[in-house]
Chains A and B, each alone.
Chain A
Amino acid sequence: AQKITQTQPGMFVQEKEAVTLDCTYDTSDQSYGLFWYKQPSSGEMIFLIYQGSYDEQNATEGRYSLNFQKARKSANLVISASQLGDSAMYFCAMREGIRSGGYQKVTFGTGTKLQVIP
């Protein structure tokens, strides 16, 4: 089974609208972390937001928020008020093994290409 599943290979959103990028995950760990990264056409990987499995509140960073539904094992990224500069690939990732104090495996999804339309 895939550890991280991003079912939307591509998405379009109108400028100034909100958009949700889906991510589901699979782990047997009780303590894990979920991340979202943005990769513009320049190729750099930019960290956006982090959610810990024990965090009770959904993470927010400016226009980014993470809709964390633990029972459903989903960690969707919500971008509010989309801007043209948001056009990029978005990757969801999971870090496991946090409590073990040793190896912390990080797994990435296949990504969603978001295009913001003027």
Chain B
Amino acid sequence: GAGVSQSPSNKVTEKGKDVELRCDPISGHTALYWYRQSLGQGLEFLIYFQGNSAPDKSGLPSDRFSAERTGGSVSTLTIQRTQQEDSAVYLCASSASGEQYFGPGTRLTVT
């Protein structure tokens, strides 16, 4: 079956612009996670969704970051007024009750 998909795969944006990153989880997976990974670093937790609600937003770095999930499926991570330090790979993962399945990531470059 289809895995987790993310779009776009690459995004180059100018500092100060807003960006939207999309995650399409595996059908039926109720849990959805967003992570950020800077070059050569580990995974930084951003936000977790159970269904459409986000019980844990503690990882969002600032109020410029927001995320939503609709219909218990697709999720969008929005970064407003992007800064150069936002440059990273943004990974999305979904799970049913076991391991997480990761998407290929979106590489964001802020110039």
Q: Which residues of A come within 8 Å of B, CB atoms?
A: 33, 35, 37, 43-45, 47, 50, 91, 93, 102-111
Contact = CB atoms under 8 A, between A and B. Distances in A.
A95 to B, nearest CB: 8
A60 to B, nearest CB: 15
8 contacts: A37-B102, A43-B105, A44-B102, A45-B91, A50-B99, A104-B31, A105-B56, A110-B42
B102 A102 contact: no
Contacts of B104: 43-44
Contacts of A103: 48, 50, 55-56
A29 to B, nearest CB: 15
B43 interface: yes
A110 B56 CA distance: 21
Interface residues of B, number: 21
B91 to A, nearest CB: 7
A105 B55 CA distance: 10
B33 interface: yes
Contacts of B55: 102-103
Contact of A43 (B41, B48, B89, B99): B89
Given A43-B89, A43-B105, A45-B91, A106 B42 contact: no
Contacts, number: 44
Contacts of B100: 35, 45, 47, 93, 106
Interface of B: 31, 33, 35, 41-43, 45, 48, 50, 55-56, 89, 91, 93, 98-102, 104-105
B48 to A, nearest CB: 7
A45 B102 contact: yes
Given A45-B102, A102-B55, A103-B56, 17 more contacts: A33-B98, A43-B105, A44-B102, A44-B104, A45-B93, A45-B100, A47-B101, A50-B98, A50-B99, A91-B43, A103-B48, A105-B48, A106-B33, A106-B48, A106-B100, A108-B35, A108-B45
A41 B98 CA distance: 25
